[in-house]
Amino acid sequence: MSDVRQLAAGVVCAGFYGMRVNAELKTFLREMPLAGVVLFGGNVENPAQVRTLTDEVRRLLSQPIVAIDQEGGRVARIREGVEEIPSALAIAAACAGTGSDELAREAGEQVAFDLRRIGANLDFAPVVDLALTRMNTVIGTRAFGDDPHRVAQLAGAFADGLERGGVAATLKHFPGHGSTSADSHLELPAIDEDEATLRARDLIPFAELLPSARAVMTAHIVTRAFDADRPATVSRRILTELLRGEFHFDGVCFTDCLQMDAIAKGIGSERAAVEAIAAGADCVLVSHDLELAARAVDAIALAAGSGELPAARLEEAASRVSRLRSALNAPLPLEAPAPFPGIGNRIGLAAVTVVRGEARAGAADVAVSFESPTTEGAQGAHVRHAALSDYASVREIRAPLDPPEEETARVLAEIGQRRPIVLMRRAHVYARQKAAVDRILTAHSDALLVSAREPFDAFDFPQARNVACTYGDDAPSIAGLAAVLFGGEPVRGVFPLSSNGAALARG
């Protein structure tokens, strides 16, 4: 392998399918000295299995990055056998209630512990985007809030916990994904906010955290105030002049996955690999296709060989990645003692927030859960919904996310004369769910509404007497809700959006 191709391979991380290193993958990794690999849900069954997988990767690659998206909440690639952590917004609500950011720090350190047990050494977390748009479900509860300084504090605490636990943290998605409702997994979003607004808001968490960060991830977004035409991932103005020049970031700049439609259906994944490195990125991600990863390596090497990609730029990128790889920590034993066992449940309980009225329930009440399998870009398939009935003796009625009239009629008939506890999931997105909740409230004015995903639903029903939020429907969050409703636990959560939901409810 030529020196330039080896350099090119050293600035690419790739994902693959399967839970084992088969013969094809073994051959590929022996012949292609990648910077590392990225793990997804399709690589994961349980900690012991993943550890066997990553141990084999380490035998095939020298000092590899073993990266994973383990944010907590709905974006977590491994759940079995590890501490399940609620969403960033739940952490924010819990920390606001306790008056301390220690829960965020402890959550990060516990995540790092579990990642090192499975052999991962770099987490594509925390998210430092802001929750600015109620229709922005691609970010939503993945954000720590909408106040930029508070987001910097909480994301910084989570990142500090990761680093204390021996896992490299990655701030994402630069220069900010919070101002658009479009999902870059599916299309290329554009942000039209003026530069002054972005500097006073979206960029603040990055500005505060980047100087001491080891890694950052780009956003596949056109931020017109800085570059009118090019996505940030391939923009020299954003990745070199802004990220390096103004914010003095000297760590590794990862691209988001180049197979996402925002890039793949526009510039194209292979071409974007070249343009991203030229713009100032250091490591490109190709998350699901080894052949495409090989073509990206070839494209980078060809561009460097022809002079289109300056050799010095490729060498600089490879040097940064190599420096990071040499500083990553070894795995921990699978049976090592956890630093903060139960931290997920503590956060889930502490995050439960009452927006109005009270959150108490009894044995005669009935739960109504709006839920359906969904597939989202960042999360992938979401088919498992934690049930209130798993944690309390309560009958549960399930309805689709966007129920037709006959389903709403069925639900009302099944509720009968009992008081309903309504678990809403994006009623602000699904019009028929909102209509169903309105009908339930007309029949049962004492109903308790629970916004179980993004909390924006909580402000769409001014006639409701009792409204609460959990900021996620993961197991710790629903268990915490059950403990408050049926176990007499006090409500501790404080609503974590500085607007108190009013502006988001209108917009």
Q: Coil, strand or helix: which one is 173? A: strand
- Domain map (residue ranges) of the chain: 343-506
pTM listed for this prediction: 0.96
Average of pLDDT values for 42-48?
96
Given a contact cutoff of 8 angstroms between Cβ atoms, the answer to whether 399 and 436 are in contact is: yes
Neighbours of 149 (CB within 10 A): 12
pLDDT band at 366; cut points 50, 70, 90: very high
- CATH number of the domain located at residue range(s) 343-506 in this protein: 3.40.50.1700
Q: Which residues contact 246 (CB under 8 A, 6 or more apart)?
A: none
The pLDDT mean for the chain works out to 94
Joined together, the tokens standing for residue 108 give 């990060």
- Give the C-alpha separation, 122 to 283, whole Å: 13
Nearest to 349 by CA among 481, 452, 454: 481
Q: What is the CA radius of gyration of the chain?
A: 23
Catalytic residues: 185, 256
Joined together, the tokens standing for residue 479 give 């268990």
Over residues 277-335, the pLDDT tens digits come to 999 999 999 999 999 999 999 999 999 999 999 999 999 999 999 999 999 999 999 99
pLDDT band at 377; cut points 50, 70, 90: low
Higher local confidence (pLDDT), 122 or 186: 122
**Token match 């309105």: residue?**
438
Instruction: Say what percent of the chain tops pLDDT 70.
Output: 95
Residue 502: per-residue pLDDT = 43
- Does residue 150 have a pLDDT over 50? yes
- Does residue 501 have a pLDDT over 60? no
Residue 281: per-residue pLDDT = 98
Residue 379: per-residue pLDDT = 62
Over residues 200-252, the pLDDT tens digits come to 999 999 999 999 999 999 999 999 999 999 999 999 999 999 999 999 999 99
SS3 labels along 306-374:
HCCCCHHHHHHHHHHHHHHHHHCCCCCCCCCCCCCCCHHHHHHHHHCEEEECCCCCCCCCEEEEECCCE
Q: Which residues contact 199 (CB under 8 A, 6 or more apart)?
A: none
Q: Coil, strand or helix: which one is 410? A: helix
Helices (H), 32-147: 47-60, 88-98, 102-118
Given a contact cutoff of 8 angstroms between Cβ atoms, the answer to whether 193 and 385 are in contact is: no
Sign of the four-CA dihedral 399, 403, 406, 411:
positive
Q: What angle do CA 361, 364, 368 make, to 5 degrees?
A: 70
Over residues 426-460, the pLDDT tens digits come to 999 999 999 999 999 999 999 999 999 999 999 99
Given a contact cutoff of 8 angstroms between Cβ atoms, the answer to whether 53 and 19 are in contact is: yes
